[in-house]
Amino acid sequence: MTLRAYLVEMVGTFLLVFFCAGAVCANRMTEEKPSAVGLLSLALAQGATLAVVLSVTTRVSQGCLNPAVTLALWVTKRFDLGRCFCLIVVQMVGAAFAGVAIISLFPQNILVDTYAGTPHLYDFYKAAEQVRPFDWLIGSVAE
Protein backbone atom coordinates (compact mmCIF):
# COMPACT_ATOMS: atom_id res chain seq x y z
CA MET A 1 0.00 0.00 0.00
CA THR A 2 1.14 3.51 -0.70
CA LEU A 3 1.28 6.49 1.61
CA ARG A 4 -1.67 7.93 -0.32
CA ALA A 5 -3.79 4.90 0.56
CA TYR A 6 -2.97 5.24 4.26
CA LEU A 7 -3.82 8.95 4.18
CA VAL A 8 -7.11 8.22 2.43
CA GLU A 9 -7.91 5.63 5.10
CA MET A 10 -7.14 8.15 7.87
CA VAL A 11 -9.25 10.90 6.27
CA GLY A 12 -12.08 8.46 5.58
CA THR A 13 -12.10 7.30 9.20
CA PHE A 14 -12.03 10.93 10.34
CA LEU A 15 -15.03 11.77 8.16
CA LEU A 16 -16.98 8.70 9.24
CA VAL A 17 -16.49 9.30 12.97
CA PHE A 18 -16.90 13.07 12.67
CA PHE A 19 -20.18 12.99 10.76
CA CYS A 20 -21.67 10.11 12.74
CA ALA A 21 -20.79 11.52 16.18
CA GLY A 22 -21.57 15.05 14.98
CA ALA A 23 -25.02 13.96 13.84
CA VAL A 24 -25.76 12.59 17.31
CA CYS A 25 -24.61 15.83 18.97
CA ALA A 26 -26.45 18.05 16.47
CA ASN A 27 -29.63 16.02 16.92
CA ARG A 28 -29.43 16.53 20.67
CA MET A 29 -29.01 20.28 20.20
CA THR A 30 -32.19 20.54 18.13
CA GLU A 31 -34.55 18.48 20.27
CA GLU A 32 -34.93 17.93 23.98
CA LYS A 33 -36.25 14.37 23.88
CA PRO A 34 -35.33 11.58 21.47
CA SER A 35 -38.02 10.97 18.87
CA ALA A 36 -38.65 8.56 16.02
CA VAL A 37 -37.93 11.29 13.47
CA GLY A 38 -34.65 12.08 15.22
CA LEU A 39 -33.61 8.45 15.25
CA LEU A 40 -34.53 8.04 11.59
CA SER A 41 -32.54 11.13 10.63
CA LEU A 42 -29.54 9.80 12.58
CA ALA A 43 -29.76 6.46 10.82
CA LEU A 44 -30.03 8.13 7.41
CA ALA A 45 -27.15 10.50 8.14
CA GLN A 46 -24.88 7.70 9.33
CA GLY A 47 -25.84 5.37 6.49
CA ALA A 48 -25.32 8.07 3.87
CA THR A 49 -21.98 9.01 5.40
CA LEU A 50 -20.81 5.40 5.34
CA ALA A 51 -21.96 4.92 1.74
CA VAL A 52 -20.24 8.06 0.47
CA VAL A 53 -17.01 7.57 2.40
CA LEU A 54 -16.77 3.91 1.38
CA SER A 55 -17.42 4.68 -2.27
CA VAL A 56 -14.66 7.30 -2.26
CA THR A 57 -12.04 5.41 -0.25
CA THR A 58 -12.33 2.03 -1.96
CA ARG A 59 -10.91 3.53 -5.15
CA VAL A 60 -7.59 4.26 -3.42
CA SER A 61 -7.42 1.94 -0.39
CA GLN A 62 -9.37 -1.07 0.81
CA GLY A 63 -11.94 1.19 2.49
CA CYS A 64 -11.82 -0.59 5.85
CA LEU A 65 -12.40 2.58 7.93
CA ASN A 66 -12.71 0.48 11.07
CA PRO A 67 -10.12 -1.52 13.05
CA ALA A 68 -12.60 -4.40 13.43
CA VAL A 69 -12.88 -4.75 9.66
CA THR A 70 -9.11 -4.51 9.32
CA LEU A 71 -8.59 -7.24 11.93
CA ALA A 72 -11.16 -9.45 10.21
CA LEU A 73 -9.25 -9.10 6.95
CA TRP A 74 -6.01 -10.00 8.75
CA VAL A 75 -7.61 -13.05 10.41
CA THR A 76 -8.84 -14.26 7.02
CA LYS A 77 -5.30 -13.75 5.67
CA ARG A 78 -6.21 -10.99 3.20
CA PHE A 79 -3.83 -8.55 4.94
CA ASP A 80 -0.39 -9.24 6.35
CA LEU A 81 0.40 -8.20 9.92
CA GLY A 82 2.40 -5.09 8.98
CA ARG A 83 -0.33 -3.72 6.75
CA CYS A 84 -2.96 -4.50 9.38
CA PHE A 85 -0.98 -2.70 12.09
CA CYS A 86 -0.39 0.39 9.93
CA LEU A 87 -4.06 0.58 8.94
CA ILE A 88 -5.22 0.31 12.54
CA VAL A 89 -2.81 3.07 13.59
CA VAL A 90 -3.99 5.48 10.88
CA GLN A 91 -7.64 4.64 11.61
CA MET A 92 -7.15 5.43 15.30
CA VAL A 93 -5.37 8.68 14.46
CA GLY A 94 -8.23 9.69 12.18
CA ALA A 95 -10.79 8.83 14.86
CA ALA A 96 -8.84 10.77 17.50
CA PHE A 97 -8.74 13.86 15.25
CA ALA A 98 -12.49 13.52 14.74
CA GLY A 99 -12.92 13.39 18.52
CA VAL A 100 -10.90 16.59 18.88
CA ALA A 101 -13.09 18.27 16.27
CA ILE A 102 -16.30 17.14 17.99
CA ILE A 103 -15.09 18.30 21.40
CA SER A 104 -14.12 21.70 20.01
CA LEU A 105 -17.40 22.24 18.10
CA PHE A 106 -20.08 21.33 20.63
CA PRO A 107 -20.81 22.76 24.09
CA GLN A 108 -19.98 20.73 27.19
CA ASN A 109 -23.62 20.05 28.14
CA ILE A 110 -24.33 18.48 24.72
CA LEU A 111 -21.15 16.40 24.93
CA VAL A 112 -22.16 15.08 28.35
CA ASP A 113 -25.76 14.38 27.25
CA THR A 114 -24.66 12.51 24.11
CA TYR A 115 -21.50 11.00 25.57
CA ALA A 116 -19.45 12.94 22.98
CA GLY A 117 -21.57 11.54 20.16
CA THR A 118 -21.09 7.93 21.25
CA PRO A 119 -24.22 7.06 23.28
CA HIS A 120 -23.45 3.35 23.21
CA LEU A 121 -20.53 4.12 25.56
CA TYR A 122 -22.94 5.16 28.33
CA ASP A 123 -21.27 3.05 31.02
CA PHE A 124 -17.91 4.60 30.26
CA TYR A 125 -19.19 8.16 30.61
CA LYS A 126 -21.99 7.82 33.19
CA ALA A 127 -19.87 8.87 36.17
CA ALA A 128 -18.43 11.90 34.39
CA GLU A 129 -19.92 15.34 34.87
CA GLN A 130 -17.57 16.71 32.26
CA VAL A 131 -16.04 15.09 29.19
CA ARG A 132 -12.28 15.22 29.73
CA PRO A 133 -9.70 15.13 26.91
CA PHE A 134 -8.82 11.49 27.61
CA ASP A 135 -12.52 10.58 27.37
CA TRP A 136 -12.89 11.84 23.82
CA LEU A 137 -9.83 9.89 22.79
CA ILE A 138 -11.18 6.63 24.20
CA GLY A 139 -14.70 7.34 22.90
CA SER A 140 -13.69 8.25 19.39
CA VAL A 141 -11.24 5.36 19.07
CA ALA A 142 -13.89 2.96 20.39
CA GLU A 143 -16.36 4.43 17.92
* pTM (predicted TM-score): 0.83
Q: pLDDT at position 10, please?
A: 95
Q: pLDDT at position 47, please?
A: 93
pLDDT tens digits along 108-122:
888 877 777 777 666
What b/e sequence results for 2-41 when a residue is b if at least 16 CB atoms lie within 10 Å of its CB, and e otherwise? eeebbebbbbbbbbbbbbbbbbbbbbbeeeeeeeeebeeb
| Total H helices, total E strands in the chain | 7, 0
pLDDT tens digits along 74-93:
999 998 999 999 999 999 99
Nearest to 61 by CA among 118, 121, 1, 135: 1
* pLDDT less than 50: residues of the chain: none
Supply the mean pLDDT for the chain: 83
Q: pLDDT at position 131, please?
A: 57
Cα–Cα distance between 6 and 10 in angstroms, integer?
6
